[in-house]
Amino acid sequence: MADRDFKDDVRVDKFNLHIDCEEHPSNYLYWAEQLAEAKSELDNAKDKLKLIEAEQEEFYRISPKGGRKITEGSIKAIIETDEKVIEAKKELREAHKDVHILSAAVSALEHKKTQLTNLKDLWIKGYYADPEGQRTSTDQKENDLRNGLNKKNKEE
């Protein structure tokens, strides 16, 4: 799987939004490429399992274990307990796990984009400019501005 931890790439630093915004596209691309690679590996693992199952089925049909009668049920049971098949299924499960983890990483980066937009909007509205505890709502600020303008107009 990937050679870096996506937790660092999805972390948002509200005091360095410009850096996060600049790095976000390349981080997203990196993890999307990792996901594509994992999906390719998943397809390879599926193909490998099918091939091993087919080879083992052919082998057991040609030379049945212990003189057993060959039926579809017995072939299926033998294939399910075959070591090569078990190992191939394990590899397939690992490939599925990698795809799920990387899908979560890409999804987290999509959420980060939304949060960067939300934080940018808060910054533009002056959310971080007011001292803590003295924040007023946007509606209150607009009312104060209007009242100030109305007062000025009345004085003129």
Q: What is the pLDDT along the chain (156 residues), one digit of tens a residue?
A: 667 888 999 999 888 888 999 999 999 999 999 999 999 999 999 999 999 999 999 998 888 766 667 888 888 988 999 999 999 999 999 999 999 999 999 999 999 999 999 998 988 888 877 665 555 555 666 667 667 666 656 665
Residue range of the domain that includes 105: 6-124
**78 inside domain:** yes
- CA 56 – CA 75 distance, rounded (Å): 9
**132 inside domain:** no
Q: Tell me how many domains the chain contains.
A: 1
28 and 111 in contact (C-beta within 8 Å)? no
**112 inside domain:** yes
**21 inside domain:** yes
CATH number for the domain spanning 95: value is 1.10.287
**144 inside domain:** no
**96 inside domain:** yes
**137 inside domain:** no
Rounded to two decimals, the pTM is 0.72
